[in-house]
Amino acid sequence: MDNTKKILIIGISGGLAQILAKLISQNHPEWKIIGVDSRRVNKVEALDNLSAIRMRYSRGNFEALFREHQFDTVYHLARVSHITQFYKDLTKRLELNVMGTNRILDLCLRFNVKKVIVLSTFHVYGAYSDNSIFLTEDAPLRASLNYPELRDVVEMDQICSTWMWKHQNSINSVILRPCNIVGTQISNTMTQYLQSRFAIKPIDFNPIFQFIHEFDMAKVLYRSIDELPTGIYNVAPDDFISLGEALNLTGHKGVPFPVTMASLFNKVLKFSNLDIPEYLIDYLKFSCLIDNRLLKKHLGDDFNRFKIDETLKLLKY
Amino acid sequence: MDLKYILDQIDPRLSDKDLKQKQKVIASLRKKYADYKDPWGFDLDLIEQLLTIALPLYRKYFKVRVFGLENVKDTPYILCSNHTGQIPIDGFLLTIAMAYEFPNNPRVIHGMVERFLAGFPFLGSLAARSGSILGDRENCKWLLEKGESISVFPEGVRGISKSTPDYYKLQTFSNGFFRIALQTKTPILPISIIGAEEMFPFVYHAKPLAKALGIPALPLSANLIPLPSPVDIYIGKPYQLPKDLSFETATNEEIRKHIYKIEKQIKANINIGLKSRRKWMGLLPSMKTKIENKHG
């Protein structure tokens, strides 16, 4: 039965998706992996059982893909980040993240996919000074309260949750809300920030962060196929660290700066189009820590291999 | 001799005995918290620095006396205290007392801060690193389950924005802390603090300004620096939690009965404290006998 298993990874050009593909390939060389992305796929590492396809994310293209391959598992790792060039265009992000996700989920149902695994983010909870520690999966998603530009992130998560419970008897679905994923293969904002010599080190706030190594995250994604039942799971290690200490571990001590002034500077930068999304500043002020008990219940206490200090030290190289 | 006594009273330097005790407290704290880490950024180095700065204020300026040390055992507590003074210096002194007065087993008491402070630049971070956290039920639960003790002032801001005629009059306690105690099965230590009301004599409560600034209260005083009012801290006997009450099903009325008993215990110690309180400053030699501190 396993011989015929077909896996779809949406967003294969991403570093995390490639680690995942490699992990699946190593453990199940008999499975067939189809990776799609709207970005270039020529840099995707070649694997015997992986076909990387570049395609425009459109309803027609996805429908043709689902019709051609009877996928057993679909990984949706293609959330358009609010940090990318699109971040200012909320309408475009809503179209891709919310409407696009909705279409993919419907196709999964129509073509009898057995399991859907969606990568969301801990950002959905929002960074607030009154955040309780270790937010559980049922905590309110407050990210878009202060910053409407985060609407797509929250709505994508919510649309998946609603869909998941509605169709729980027909299809297994897992939504993962990981903490900051860092590693040398993924080029997300947090990794770039930690590797930057000019990273802002807040002197007026001391936020606490959780970091998971990209390999551990890929392993959670991989194990989700068989070991996580339908549900929403926060993904974070037990350990946490202050941002100041994290910067010290990566070898770049950071540039001490009052984050309170950052908003002001950002307004000036707006004129040169170099500004960063305002809500990111809040993540440098306030902690948003997530609870991992539900995930550990299924994957065990030692689901992650890298300790937080190892994860950060590895960014040095 | 009297001059020497007066000079000693205004000398901010700690005595050799105090310095020795401070060193012992710091060594014990280092041992106790060697592996402790909390999600708010607890920083033992900062606590050591704060203790070094604050101890002269505690010993020489506010001349704090602590009674009822024998009521404290080696177990986590919820310290439940009356709130006095316009700025919560009472909480600060209580925290020092729970470390300094127990050199063999000091503890860092985790105070609760208001929401507005948690989001304040510098101050929010300083509070978190020194062990004070946002007064949230989950936060308290986490600390108590880790074997830490917390302090609560269930009068809330009503306790620190009292006008002069209401000094030392307890305001109605909120229920939240008792539910946390029931949930975590943590005994409650009733604390009565005398002396802090007079540090900032009340002039006016600038409610509209407080509202505009988004802070819960803004009582104004004529002085910017606290007056050197001597402070007495009374630690009552731990309040034993009822075994038949569940934190989930207990009604507010059932909880109020117990809170009333705790309030009564705190009030009784306030009355004892008010009768035996020391005069302000205590510099005059004629008052020397009244300033006999438990610790010399």
Which tens digits make up the pLDDT trace of A189-198? 889 889 888 8
Residues of B with Cβ-Cβ distance to A236 under 8 angstroms = none
Residue B286 has pLDDT above 70, yes or no: no
Contacts for A268 with CB less than 8 Å, ≥ 6 apart: none
Q: Where are the domains of chain A?
A: 79-316
Q: What are the pLDDT digits (tens) for B212-224? A: 877 777 778 878 8
**CATH of the domain spanning A79-316:** 3.40.50.720
For residue B64, give both structure tokens: 């704090």
Q: Output the average pLDDT for chain A.
A: 90
At residue B292, the pLDDT reads 45
- Residue B238 CA to residue B188 CA, distance in Å, equals 5
Q: Output the average pLDDT for chain B.
A: 88
Q: What are the pLDDT digits (tens) for A61-117? A: 999 999 999 999 999 998 776 555 555 677 777 777 888 899 999 999 999 999 999
User: B2-291: which CATH number, 3.90.550, 1.10.3470, 1.10.10, 3.40.1130?
Assistant: 3.40.1130
Secondary structure letter of residue B16 according to DSSP: H
**Helices and strands per DSSP (H, E), number in chain B:** 11, 9
Amino acid identity at A10: I
Q: What are the pLDDT digits (tens) for B148-198? A: 999 999 987 777 777 777 788 898 899 999 999 999 999 999 999 999 888
Residues of B with Cβ-Cβ distance to A205 under 8 angstroms = 121, 124-125
Backbone angles phi, psi at A221, to 5 degrees: -60, -45
Q: Which residues pair with A233 in a beta bridge?
A: A176
At residue B294, the pLDDT reads 44
DSSP string, A240-291: -EEHHHHHHHHT---EEE-HHHHHHHHHHHHTTT----HHHHHHTTS---B-
Distance from the B37 Cα atom to the nearest Cα atom in chain A, whole angstroms: 9
- B 86-125 residues inside an 8 A Cβ radius of A: 115, 118-119, 121-122, 124-125
**Chain A interface includes B29 (CB < 8 A):** no
- A 209-268 residues inside an 8 A Cβ radius of B: 240, 242, 258-260
For residue A245, give both structure tokens: 């200490």
pLDDT-based confidence at residue B281 (cuts at 50, 70, 90): low
For an interface test with A, give the residue of B36, B122, B129 to mutate (most A CBs within 10 A). B122
Contacts A–B by Cβ distance under 8 A: 49
CA-nearest of B276, B193, B197, B269 to B232 is B193
